Structure 1
Amino acid sequence: MKHNAVVLGGSVAGLLAAAALAPRYDTIEIIERDILPAGPQARRGAPQGRHVHAMLPRGLQAIEGLLPGITERLEAAGGMRGDVLGNARWHLNGRTLRRRDIGLAAITASRALIEATIRAAVRELPNVTITDGHDIVGFATGRAVRITGRHGQGSRVVPATLVVDATGRGSRMPQWLAALGGAAAPRDEVLIDVRYASRVFEGDLLGDALVVVTARYPGQRRSSVMQRLEGGRVLVTLAGVHGERPPGDPAGFAAYADTLAVADTAKVIAEGRPVGDAVPFHFPAYVRHRYDQAELPPGVVVIGDAACAFNPVYGQGMSVAAMSAELLREDDDPRRFHAGQARLQDAPWTLAVGADLALDGAPPTGPAAMVRALQLAAVEDADLAEAFIRVTSLVDPPSALGAPWIAQRLQARQRPPEEQTTA
């Protein structure tokens, strides 16, 4: 066993990092700025917490491996489990993918419930403690972190064998590195100007679906996601990019939904009973810090959104954080971990960037054109729908869409009907 680890940030990424390290460290202390609620409540340190959150199948698998039984705990707390294709409606390019069960489970619940359930499970680990209500000042002399209480507790230095930065998009690691005389990590940035407006509705509104996605596509910069929440509620998130701004007032909210390519969202808004006001959110750009190419102080790891803040529209953040924690459990050497995390991030980053770069309405070419053709064919072909969803669920790599059978299936669909064979 190693001596002690300090995890900076008590959100999902930090909690899962602590769970990953628990088997090999004597003690793990999580330092969190917020005063953490006892149950599933929204908090200031998770500004996107009132909007749709996805727990993709691969992410759920990773969390289950880190915290066995967590899926059942989420269901017991009110979360709902279903098949990612059979219990979801995917409206892509204005058309609906063919549905069927594919054996990949996903969980739908509020971000607050997911985080509270994970936090409760982590608190039960005997060598993990959570110190909330403390700011992280920065690195102290040696391998240590200086923290200070936000409510009169004073400051102290926390020594550590390993420091994990899981402080999210607001991570000050670049500033801390500069203070130590180090160079900033190279970074990739994509300007997207995502704006959300989310509102909760009561009622049996989604039929047999747990999640309904109405995606944007070339020429259409508006989208929506609806998901069932605990307590018989449905969360509706309207989104827009590159200048599109979903309004928060009831009439504007409904009118925006009316402009979507599929009527599902407008129908839910018209038939549901609203609970509270719409909540806005703005995400100007998504950023990937290449800590695999940086010189970090010894014993420092950066994980979750602090390392790579994905475009939230694609719901990849929690799942990639879980997969990174899974990787950390296997190897906590910082250099090897960051190299492995970079490889892990490649697929979801490529998927998001490719889709976002196609938003200008220009005809897609190359791999983007193939993916669009696959999506259109998947409206009628359940095998193609499954292949696509397995990739977006992070279970299969994007290269899986290059399988010969997929190319053959798409080529067959391009031939005249009299020349096509039954798929």
Structure 2
Amino acid sequence: MAVPTGDRAVVLGGSMAGLLAARVLADTYRDVVIVERDDMSPGAEARRGVPQGRHVHGLLARGQQILDELFPGFTEDAVAAGIPTGDLGELRWYFNGRRLRPSTTGLVCVSATRPLLESRVRARVAEIQNVTFTDLHDIVGPVTDDARTTVTGVRVRSRRPGAEERVLEADLVVDATGRASRTPVWLEELGYARPEEERIQIDLSYTTRRFRLPDPSVLHGDLSINPVSSPSHPRGAFLSRIEDGLIVVSLTGVLGDSAPAELEGFLAWTKTLPVSDIHDVLQDAEPVGDGTVFRYPASVRRRYEQLDRFPGRFLVLGDAACSFNPVYGQGMTVSALEALVLRTHLRRGPVPDPAAFLGDIARVVDVPWDFSAGADLGFPEVEGRRTAKVRMGGAYMARLQAAAVHDGEVTGTFMKVAGLVEPPQALMSPRMMFRVMRGSRQSRPALVAS
């Protein structure tokens, strides 16, 4: 570990983005404080601050690699603890109602519930001596110097009845409070402009239930079954083996469509999926607990990097900067990539330049945002500007997914790009374009007009 050069950094928010930011800050600061409104005591229950926590979560391959880098042995420990893992390319993927040919990629899929995954990261962060958790505290707002050009701390208040507001002084404050971040409001109150926002209104719903299988062989050894939503088949689902010998099933609807949470309606809805695999698996499954519903109205990207002015000693990352449609599983991995960007900036000095940092994380966000926003704009009912790049990208992806039905190499490359391990250019190499054009001709009926 590096020798700390700063005094105190305060991280607002104790979810994955905040935990990973704290991990890298601990190499530079003598004292790192994580402020969180929820209870952060040991346990693996879904938190109020993570409303999607009970539903199927995806940690993309690059995210898994970064967790192993920041917390050596993380995946090995997860496997030892009984968390199922598998090869990302060997999962049962369906696009446009057709199964992609499996491919061995070497990319690890860690199939844990969000609360369990987060709790294991939190436990590793808690082992760092100079990191402390201040949970069950509301974040009131930043404190600045008289000129309002530099953030010098944050006002917080315990959620205990009668508690008074207090100030945590800091050399650096990092907002990782998620999509409900109040930074745009704080900036306006301090005399700064609010960032412009890009919104893709998808009106997604997740309806999730857990089950126990009397005969796990019904899965045929598969870790996950994923008929993915598409314009030709808007209803989708994710079935994953998770800890404790259970499976979790999340049914996805878009544009206001939503599966019922009660068991009979839930099972009936699985019959409307483009393939029968999930319905077949659940025939004799034993329900565990009640169903839950989560609604996600829109993906939101806040363009902080375009602001002319921004207070010093203050950074924004994670969902507070860009909140992705969760169906693509990008959020945790993008937060991990942003933590690496933060580490790079901290190596130059304990107080990163906000403009440079926000510009660098914007470049991290560009690829996953283009991927998810482009896929959502494939639904004709979704409002948004469809540039020539978006239209061409959608048409090519339709061909690529059709080709992957027959060609495992196309599947493997697609998974590496979707997993943020390889750049999008890997899908556009002459060799790959040839395979896509050749393979898509075999699947012409599956192609969907963009």
Check whether TM > 0.5: yes
Q: Note if contact 1:199-1:277 (Cα within 8 Å) is conserved in structure 2.
A: yes
The corresponding residue for 1:136 is 139
- The 5 A counterparts of 1:49-60 are 49-60=53-64
1:68 aligns with 2:77: no
1:398 aligns with 2:424: yes
1:124 aligns with 2:137: no
SS at match of 1:157: strand
Q: Which amino acid aligns with 2:123?
A: A
Q: Note if contact 1:30-1:128 (Cα within 8 Å) is conserved in structure 2.
A: yes
Runs of 4+ more than 6 Å apart: 414-417
The corresponding residue for 2:403 is 377
What is the deviation of 1:155?
2.2
Q: Which amino acid aligns with 1:220?
A: H
Q: Which amino acid aligns with 2:253?
A: G
1:222 aligns with 2:222: no
- The 5 A counterparts of 1:333-352 are 333=352, 334-352=354-372
**Equivalent residue in structure 2 for 1:47, among 44, 51, 72:** 51
Q: Note if contact 1:220-1:359 (Cα within 8 Å) is conserved in structure 2.
A: no
Structure 1 distance, partners of 2:118, 2:238, is 20
What is the deviation of 1:413?
4.1
Q: Note if contact 1:373-1:410 (Cα within 8 Å) is conserved in structure 2.
A: yes
The corresponding residue for 2:112 is 109
Q: TM-score normalized by structure 2?
A: 0.89
Q: Which amino acid aligns with 2:356?
A: R
Q: Which amino acid aligns with 1:103?
A: G
Structure 1 distance, partners of 2:185, 2:121, is 30
Aligned residue pairs total 415
Structure 2 distance, partners of 1:341, 1:91, is 32
1:314 aligns with 2:328: yes
SS at match of 1:208: coil
Q: Note if contact 2:399-2:440 (Cα within 8 Å) is conserved in structure 1.
A: no
The corresponding residue for 1:100 is 103
What is the deviation of 1:358?
0.9
Q: Which structure 2 segments of 5+ residues have no match?
A: 146-151, 347-351, 383-389, 444-450
Structure 1 distance, partners of 2:106, 2:258, is 37
Q: Which structure 1 segments of 5+ residues have no match?
A: 418-423
Q: TM-score normalized by structure 1?
A: 0.94
- The 5 A counterparts of 1:78-227 are 78-86=82-90, 88-142=91-145, 143-152=152-161, 153-203=163-213, 204=216, 205-227=218-240
The corresponding residue for 1:420 is none
Q: Note if contact 1:89-1:209 (Cα within 8 Å) is conserved in structure 2.
A: yes
CA pair 287-361 structure 1, distance change in 2 beyond 3 A: closer
CA pair 172-414 structure 1, distance change in 2 beyond 3 A: closer
SS at match of 1:275: strand
SS at match of 1:358: coil
Q: Which amino acid aligns with 1:170?
A: A
What is the deviation of 1:56?
0.9
Structure 1 distance, partners of 2:421, 2:155, is 39
Q: Note if contact 2:138-2:158 (Cα within 8 Å) is conserved in structure 1.
A: yes
Give a deviation string over 1:318-351, Cα, whole Å, max 9, x none: 1111111111111142222211111111111111
Structure 2 distance, partners of 1:386, 1:67, is 27
Q: Note if contact 2:95-2:227 (Cα within 8 Å) is conserved in structure 1.
A: yes
Q: Which amino acid aligns with 1:310?
A: F
1:247 aligns with 2:251: no
Structure 2 distance, partners of 1:408, 1:285, is 36
Structure 2 distance, partners of 1:407, 1:261, is 27
Q: Note if contact 2:403-2:437 (Cα within 8 Å) is conserved in structure 1.
A: no
- The 5 A counterparts of 1:292-311 are 292-294=305-307, 295-311=309-325
Structure 2 distance, partners of 1:406, 1:52, is 31
